Amino acid sequence: MIGLEVEHREGLWNVAFVNCGYLSEDKRIDLVRQVADAYIDSKSRAKLKGDGFEGLMQYKGIGMLHGFIGPRFEGILETEQGKTDFDFIVYHDSRNTLN
């Protein structure tokens, strides 16, 4: 499992990756931002495209992973190293937006 915090649009997003294949940390951050956009925009499926990857993601409902509970996303990406899949839980941390 790989954990990651990403600042984007609505604040801080925490991510727990089950699988993220060949992606570097920078590409994972780009992937999370695109998936967060789709989630905020209430899309259950979205095309993803970044520097060195392209593919599709699908919202899989609320999931739990190592104590993290949140929206779960799965997808398949075509990367420079070949095809890979990803699976992760993401949740929005609203503590930094409260007054």
Q: What is the pLDDT of residues 43-97, one digit of tens each?
A: 999 999 999 999 999 999 998 877 778 888 999 999 988 998 888 887 766 554 4
Q: Does residue 31 contact residue 48 with C-beta atoms inside 8 Å?
A: yes
Mean pLDDT of 26-34: 86
User: In whole angstroms, what is the distance from residue 5 CA to residue 61 CA?
Assistant: 21
User: In whole angstroms, what is the distance from residue 3 CA to residue 24 CA?
Assistant: 13
At 14, which helix (H) or strand (E)?
A: strand 11-19
Tell me which of 67 and 35 has the higher pLDDT. 35
pTM, two decimals, is 0.75
**Radius of gyration, alpha carbons of the chain:** 13
* pLDDT at 8 > cutoff 70: no
Tell me which of 1 and 15 has the higher pLDDT. 15
